[in-house]
Amino acid sequence: MFFGPLRPEFMARRVHIIGGGLAGLSAAVEVAGSGLHVILHEAGPACGGRARSYEDRKLGCRIDNGNHLLLTANQSVFRYLGLTGGLDTITGPDRPIFPFVDLADGDRWTLDLSVGRIPFWVLNPRRRVPGMRLGELISLKRLLEADADETVSACLMPGPFSRRLLDPFSVAALNTPSHEASAALLGHVVRESLAKGGRACLPRFPKTGLSESFVDPALSHLSVLKVEIRTGRRVTSIETSDDRVTQICFPDDAISVGDDDVVILAVTAPVAASLLKHALPDLQVPDAFEGILNAHFRLEKPPQSLGAFAEARFMGVIGALTEWIFLKDDVISVTVSAANRYAARDQDELMTVIWQEVRRALDSVLSVPLPLVPMAQRLVWEKRATFAATPEQLRRRPGARTALANLALAGDWTATHLPATIDGAVRSGVEAVRVLGLRGPL
């Protein structure tokens, strides 16, 4: 890690990072080893935020809080993993393949992208979306050229390419229904991934769990570099004077922020707005949110998968409530994005529907059919998982720099030019460090 010269006005003695999610961990990793005294304050009992693993008593095993599929295009994430020593905890297929099933008509296919930038895959009916017409590719051009007020749906041509790929890709990436989601934001995602070819679109995910990849290696790395991690430290207020943060307050004490100290606020948008409502009354943050539903099913023993599903270990599902299925040992996990639309449905009924869809999707790609009822199941519903990625909400995303000279913001809800993803969270931590002058430009 190479650090540029510090600007004289920001020769920080201490760096206070408030929030131990991926944005806060990313910021800590950036500045660790610089000779500064770095203190990370986390309100909960452990770091990691939404990207963590835990022991689930009902399932009787360890699961991730939610499923996250990375692409090799996510450069900020892989740089973070490289710095923390977590690269070897990530796995995925050797080819840019994405198995799909359409439960509306039973069609199955594997999207098999070309490795290079030239999209030869669209010319091969066995590698592209079934039934698509080449003229439908105009949808990609529309997304790449979309203005700030356009929605994804307005850019998509009717047809299999949109219904079977672009629409589900949009919902998964932006966690917002396509008729509300920002086309410009999706266009940026396409520009950073699909437009760069298959080398940028190799699917990646943790071998073991989110904590084992994104949290534990970072904490070990930070410990070696003498970063101080304080958990169970909920910040109740931030005091300011003369356009600077002067004090960080907790339920039972307070910390003075010296003239040479800086603060990175890496908490959720609502918490940031609450803590800064007096110091930065004009601060706007996203205030509309979308949920994510994750259903986990444990089996008596790990099933043997076949074909492309065995290679990829995940599957996209079209024409169903279920959207993505992941297989990890004896646990099948399902992710449903933009889940606000299902908030009124009975949870037991949702789980029944999802399991039946899983059986229909997987029985032909497993050596033995799935049981009528799983051994155990768990529904994890994050009702405010991400900000709603609408044009209106994007305009409310603040940058890392604030009007307070020694305070920067971090979080996947800040203006990273990415959706609220792991890559966005990591990138925000790097940017917060940069705007405070704690390291040179990337």
Q: For the chain, list the domains and their CATH numbers.
A: 8-47+231-287+389-435 (3.50.50.60), 53-92+203-210+289-387 (3.90.660.10), 130-200 (no CATH)
d(CA 400, CA 417): 12
d(CA 16, CA 19): 10
Q: What is the DSSP letter of 303?
A: P
CA angle 199, 202, 205 (to 5 degrees): 150
Beta bridge partners of 293: 336, 381
Each residue's pLDDT, cut to its tens digit, for the chain (442 residues) gives 334 444 444 456 899 999 999 999 999 999 999 999 999 999 999 999 988 899 999 999 999 988 899 999 999 999 999 999 999 999 999 999 999 999 999 999 999 999 999 999 999 999 999 999 999 999 999 999 999 999 999 999 999 999 999 999 999 999 999 999 999 999 999 999 999 999 999 999 999 999 999 999 999 999 999 999 999 999 999 999 999 999 999 999 999 999 999 999 999 999 999 999 999 999 999 999 999 999 999 999 999 999 999 999 999 999 999 999 999 999 999 999 999 999 999 999 999 999 999 999 999 999 999 999 999 999 999 999 999 999 999 999 999 999 999 999 999 999 999 999 999 999 999 999 999 998 633 3
CA 84 to chain centre: 18
384: its two tokens? 């405010």
Using alpha carbons, list the distances in angstroms from residue 333 to 290, 322, 326, 373.
Answer: 20, 10, 5, 15
Beta carbons within 10 angstroms of residue 258's beta carbon: 13
Residue 70: what are its φ and ψ, rounded to 5°?
Answer: -95, 160
Whole-model pTM?
Answer: 0.93
d(CA 66, CA 379): 10
CA angle 21, 27, 31 (to 5 degrees): 145
Radius of gyration of the chain (CA): 22
